[in-house]
Amino acid sequence: MKYSATLTAAAVMVVAATTTVATTVATTSTLDRNTASGVRGGVPVPSVPVPVPVRNRRRRKLEDKFSCVLYEKDTQYENHQDDTANWACEMADGQFIDIDPSSSATEFLYREGATSGASMMKVTKGPMYLEQDLTTRTQMIQTSIDTVVSIESLHEEDERHYKSRRKQRQLTQHHQHSQGQRLLADSFGTLDTLVIRVIADNNSQISASANQLKSDIFTDAFCLKTGYAQCSKDQLIINPAPNVGDGGIVDVKISSNPSDGNDSTLREQAVSKATQQYGTLHSKFDLVMMCLPPGTGGWVAYAYINSYLSVYNNDWCQQVSAQMHEVGHNLGLGHSNEGEQAYGDQSSMMGYSYKSDDGPKMCFNAAKNYQLGWYERQKLSFDPLANKNTAVQFTLNGIVDYNKNSQQATQTNGIPLVSIRLKQYGDSNGIDYYIGYNRKTGVNDGTMEAADAVTIIRKDSGYPMTYGESNRLAALGSGQQFVINNFKNTQVDVTISVKSISTNKKDAIIEICYGTCNSPPPCNGNGNALVVEVVTDQYTEETSWSLKKNINNGVGLGNINGIGGNNLIGNTQYTYEPYCVDNNQRYTMVVSDSFGDGQGTTGSFKGYLDGVVVFESLPGSWTGTQTSKTFCVGNCDTPVPTKAPTQAPTPGFINVATDAPTSSKPACENLSGYKWQGKKRKGCKWVGKGKRKNIRRKCKRKEKNLPGLGRIRDYCQAVCAEVGNGPNTCT
């Protein structure tokens, strides 16, 4: 929400506070305001402007010493440029009311590490207000210049803590617990689910009928219920709420109509009506899915982390990826990102959502798989520091091959693993790494990225079994490696190598090395070891390569044992582990460029056979969509003319990806005043907005109105260089 006026003289000071609530942890952090600089433990805290009320709004002062349980709300938008995360208060009447995202209170909650559903915000001094926009009727919690708040951690036995609520729900569902049956973890058991079709005052509503929603959520071959059942190996079952509505689907009529930005108004009215009809929602149901009518904006869906509620915009309520994503938040899962792009890991349902009610069929990444606990017998926490200078091998399986009756996997018993945690700082709420094999089959046969590849995932915060966003760092094929530099600040690297992927794609053999590990000589010292080196140009995800075996003087079909690389990162030098080629056989190295301009003036590739260069393509030597180099190992029936091979040292294979050699070219700069096609508001700032893939697409667009023509990347050089799509003439 935007404000037309703010007070700017306020500053923030943080001091210590002691809890007065018996069920909370003993010490807390507080936020105070002062005209001087703020400190907590001697560390300055920056001043933050405080909003004041403006026209067309009204305020109601909340009770003195107001407190609420905090829930984080994550909202996904169709354009992924407006995706938001903010804190909300769960009020006494069961409503979730947003805390102003621009307030210093919000910044304080994130900085101090509040936990959704397990932390309480408490006003210790000054007023707090509930402000309503009189046009949209949207409510928001606001602070004043005199407000002091604290964060207090709820004990897990406190009835307000999300874990305590879930235990109470299990006890309600299963009276046999009192006879000794064990309580289940958050992501196990049966979840009774209420689906609410919200009908506006003007009868606007989602087009899907109750029967259609039942199919899309509970009965389709791949939907919320069947998707979670298949991914969890039937350890998590999502059922329609029994004896409620039409198979768990109910209609709730409200008194407002949809308008841009008033989704929270519709949600609040629907929660009130549903509570009147069915009782306190979090005590009656494990999950509540709310389908709002069209017309409230371009958002997809949102959920409150570790809570029961998820909310969907119109027909997004029917899309299985949105359903599994938002319910994933309810289960405590964070987003799956890739690089700088939020939601960018498309090997996981916690990445983007897709406009399809039956797919894509996929589950979650290695970090989420470890957290969910569904593959407990085939997961492992591995400490590289305990294995210095020792190469340790593991076999990875995809989730489809998990065996619930397996013996517990250990570091030495050879049982295949679904997820490996590389233990670093996760036990202290810091960074950990996870390794998994994203096998493309069964319930995961619709994975959108990293199919049949070993994935390396970093989880930046959150303990191994609790909420935290993840970041996919690499997707490796056979012969590729990834290096984690300076592991645990020891100045020693961890190298993860994919030794092989079986022909039937079931087993991926990996090796983890902390330090320097002795490996056997390539091809067991028998020769014919081919090493491929590829240097990409500055354009990301355009270069791919494969090695093909020639048959009867033609090019064989398909890659050899997965040898190759797809959609390589720009400005990177790739050196691949040796591949053992056959004697007296001709091979062809095929390199392609998806954009169609070759590898430009910086890209190249080269092959070494036992240290001898057998093929090479220099920078600027080809254009178009594809080129190839054919070479012979030993004596071939039809010799192919080649230049005499030149002796060269065999390159090392430690990194699959390293920074490309530095350039003496000038730094890239944006052209001042540039407007694409002369269009107003479409300058370099516009080019740089949005997710990385969208920026790269913009950079490739042609310019038709300026002398010299070219593409946007030739005018917005710095912006495009940031996403690996700058021009060849600068760096």
Q: For the residues 281-304, what does the mean pLDDT come to?
A: 97
Lowest mean pLDDT among 87-96, 188-197, 694-703: 694-703
Q: Name which of 433, 490, 432 is nearest 456 in CA terms.
A: 433
pLDDT, residue 315, reads 96
Same domain? For 510 and 531 the reply is: no
Give residues with Cβ within 8 angstroms of 643, minimum separation 6: none
Judge whether 629 and 599 are in contact, CB under 8 Å.
no
Query: Quick one: pLDDT at residue 527?
Result: 74
The mean per-residue pLDDT over the stretch 164-176 comes to 74
Fill in the amino acid letter for 62.
Answer: L
Tell me what percent of the residues of the chain surpass a pLDDT of 90: 60
637: confidence class by pLDDT, cuts 50, 70, 90: low
- Give the C-alpha distances (Å, rounded to integers) separating 694 from 632, 670, 697, 718, 720: 42, 18, 5, 16, 11
Q: How far apart are CA 327 and CA 173, in angstroms?
A: 20
Mean pLDDT in residue range 183-198 = 83
Confidence of residue 518 (pLDDT cuts 50, 70, 90): confident
Question: Are residues 625 and 545 both part of a single domain?
Answer: yes
Question: Residues 214-273: pLDDT tens digits?
Answer: 999 999 999 999 999 999 999 999 999 999 999 999 999 999 999 999 999 999 999 999
Does position 664 have pLDDT exceeding 80, yes or no?
A: no
Q: Which domain, by its residues, includes 694? A: 664-731
In the predicted structure, residue 11 carries a pLDDT above the cut 70: no
Contact indicator for 537, 602 with CB cutoff of 8 Å: yes
Give the confidence band of 205 by pLDDT, cuts at 50, 70, 90.
Answer: very high
Place 556 in a pLDDT band, splitting at 50, 70 and 90.
low
Name the more confident of 20 and 468.
468
Of 230-234, 252-256, 375-379, 717-721, the poorest mean pLDDT is in 717-721
Query: Is 577 in the same domain as 645?
Result: yes
Confidence check: pLDDT of 731 > 90: no
Whether pLDDT at 35 is above 70:
no
State the average pLDDT for the chain. Answer: 84
Query: Domains in the chain: how many in total?
Result: 5
Q: What is the DSSP string of 327-366?
A: HHHHTT---EEETTBTT--TTSTTS---S-SS-------H
Q: Are 457 and 472 in contact (CB under 8 A)?
A: yes
Record the pTM. Answer: 0.70
φ, ψ of residue 692 to 5 degrees: the values are: -55, -40
Inform me whether the pLDDT recorded for 524 exceeds 60. yes
**pLDDT at residue 640, as a whole number:** 44
Nearest-angstrom CA–CA distance, 621 and 416: 45
Residue 538, in any domain of the structure: yes
Q: How far apart are CA 237 and CA 287, in angstroms?
A: 12
Which stretch of 416-425, 579-588, 634-643 has the lowest confidence by average pLDDT?
Answer: 634-643
Q: What 3 state SS string does 286-301 have?
A: CEEEEEECCCCCCEEE
559-581 mean pLDDT: 77
Q: Rounded CA gap, 164 and 175, in Å?
A: 16
Residue 660 has pLDDT above 90, yes or no: no
The two tokens of residue 412 are: 């030495």
- Domain membership of residue 229 (yes or no) is yes
**Is the pLDDT assigned to residue 410 strictly greater than 50?**
yes
Domain's final residue, options 602, 626, 659: 659
**Max Cα separation, the chain?**
91
CB 375 within 8 A of CB 398: no
Same domain, 391 and 479: yes
Q: Which two tokens stand for residue 524?
A: 């067991």
Average pLDDT over residues 175-182: 42
CATH number, position 613: 2.60.60
Q: Is the pLDDT of residue 547 over 70?
A: yes
Q: Give dist(CA 504, CA 110) in Å, integer.
A: 46
Q: What is the pLDDT of residue 522?
A: 76
CB 397 within 8 A of CB 439: yes
Provide the token pair at 335: 């987003």
The answer to whether residue 348 sits within a structural domain is no
pLDDT of residue 638: 55
Q: What is the mean pLDDT of residues 554-567?
A: 65
Q: Residue 511: which residues within 8 A CB-CB, separation 6 or more?
A: 391, 392, 393, 394, 495, 496, 497, 499, 517
Same domain, 201 and 299: yes
- Do 172 and 294 lie in a common domain? yes
Q: Is residue 689 part of a domain?
A: yes
Helix (H) or strand (E) holding 717: helix 717-722
528 and 506, same domain (yes or no): no
Sheet with 139-143, side-by-side order of all strands: 57-61, 128-133, 139-143
Which bin fits 564, alpha (ψ -120 to 50), beta or left (φ > 0)?
A: left
Do 297 and 193 have their domain in common? yes
Question: DSSP letters of 587-627?
Answer: EEEEEEETTSBTTTTT-EEEEEETTEEEEEE-TTS--BSEE
Tell me, yes or no, whether 337 lies in a domain: no
Confidence of residue 430 (pLDDT cuts 50, 70, 90): very high
Answer whether 69's CB lies under 8 Å from 154's CB: yes
Give the pLDDT of residue 729. Answer: 66
pLDDT at 386: 93
Note whether 270 and 252 are within 8 A (CB).
yes
What's the rounded mean pLDDT across residues 470-482? Answer: 93
Confidence of residue 2 (pLDDT cuts 50, 70, 90): very low
Residues 528 and 510 in one domain: no
In a domain, 351, yes or no: no
pLDDT at 144: 86
Q: Please compute the mean of the pLDDT values over residues 107-126 and round it to a whole number.
A: 93
- Taking 90 as the threshold, does the pLDDT of residue 357 lie above it? no
Which of the residue ranges 578-582, 638-642, 690-694, 705-709 would you say has the lowest mean pLDDT? 638-642
Distance, CA of 395 to CA of 405 (rounded, Å): 18
581 plus 690 within the same structural domain = no
State the pLDDT confidence band at 49, using cuts at 50, 70 and 90. Answer: very low
Q: Is residue 10 part of a domain?
A: yes
Kindly indicate the confidence band of residue 451, based on its pLDDT and cuts at 50, 70 and 90.
Answer: very high
Separation CA 687–CA 715 (nearest Å)? 11
What mean pLDDT comes out for the span 90-94? Answer: 94
**Considering only 320-324, 469-473, 669-673, which range has the smallest mean pLDDT?**
669-673
Lowest mean pLDDT among 24-28, 296-300, 333-337: 24-28
Percent of the chain whose pLDDT exceeds 70: 83
Residue 186 has pLDDT above 80, yes or no: no
- Give yes or no for residue 198 having a pLDDT over 60: yes
| Pick from 573, 572, 611, 565: nearest CA to 591 | 565
Residue 76's H or E segment, with its range, is: strand 67-77
| Domain termination residue (choose one: 153, 173, 189) | 153
Phi and psi for 470 in degrees, rounded to 5? -120, 165
Which of 514, 535, 551 marks a domain boundary? 514
Among the listed ranges 110-124, 262-276, 428-442, 715-729, which one has the minimum average pLDDT value?
Answer: 715-729
Q: How confident is the model at residue 563 (pLDDT cuts 50, 70, 90)?
A: confident
Nearest to 189 by CA among 227, 226, 239: 239
Task: Note the pLDDT of residue 652.
Answer: 41
Do 22 and 94 lie in a common domain? yes
Residue 207 pLDDT > 90, yes or no? yes
Question: Is residue 338 domain-resident?
Answer: no
What's the token pair of residue 16?
């210590």
Contact 34, 267 (CB under 8 A): no
Mean pLDDT is lowest, of 140-154, 224-238, 296-310, for 140-154
- Do residues 575 and 656 touch, judged by C-beta distance below 8 A? yes
123 has a pLDDT exceeding 90: yes
Give the pLDDT score at 283. 92
Domain containing residue 321: CATH number:
3.40.390
On whether both 598 and 464 belong to a single domain, the answer is no
For position 695, what pLDDT does the model report? 82
The count of other CB atoms within 10 Å of the CB of residue 296 is: 22
Q: 């000589």: which residue's tokens?
A: 521
Question: Does 654 or 561 have the greater pLDDT score?
Answer: 561
Mean pLDDT of the region 525-539: 85
The angle at the Cα of 559, spanning 557 to 560, to the nearest 5 degrees, equals 105
Reading the block at residue 237, the tokens are 């079952």
